[in-house]
Amino acid sequence: MIRPKGRALYPFLNVVFHGVHISIILFALLGWALPSLRQLHLALLGLTLGSWFILGQWLGIGYCPISDMHWKLKESFGEGRPEGTYIHYVLQKLTGKTLSSPRVDKMTTRVTLSLAALSLTLWLLG
């Protein structure tokens, strides 16, 4: 478990984890668009899907090591472990609505698989 000394470090680490998450999500959504980044984009999506469905066999489908560390940080500072995935967490924060975690997970999986297929197709054709 992450146990930084003092509460002053928590806001910084929380922002770092949000930045890493958002950067990965944006690259997953847009990385296919730049031909020079398609191979890296495919690698990221392969690692993501591997984490969700291979590591997920032992750690829970949809497992993300970055979310796991982020949630442990939140727990260690008394904020509690958010329900569901990071995308579910962010969408609820942005909309202010209670969203179905399984529904968000299905949407996220469909979008990720579609982006992987698109990126692979473009990379093979390019």
Q: Which domain holds residue 81?
A: 9-125
- The answer to whether residue 18 sits within a structural domain is yes
The residue assigned the tokens 């489908």 is 61
Does residue 3 lie within any of the structural domains? no
Q: Is the pLDDT of residue 113 over 70?
A: yes
In a domain? residue 47 = yes
Number of domains the chain is built from: 1
How far apart, in whole angstroms, are the C-alpha atoms of residue 79 and residue 67? 14
SS3 of residue 85 by DSSP: coil
Assess whether pLDDT exceeds 70 at residue 124: yes
**pLDDT exceeds cutoff 60 at 1:** no
Instruction: Give the pLDDT band (50/70/90) at residue 88.
Output: very high
Residue 76 lies in a domain: yes
What is the per-residue pLDDT across 50-82, written as a single tens digit (0 to 9) for each?
A: 999 999 999 999 999 999 999 999 998 888 899
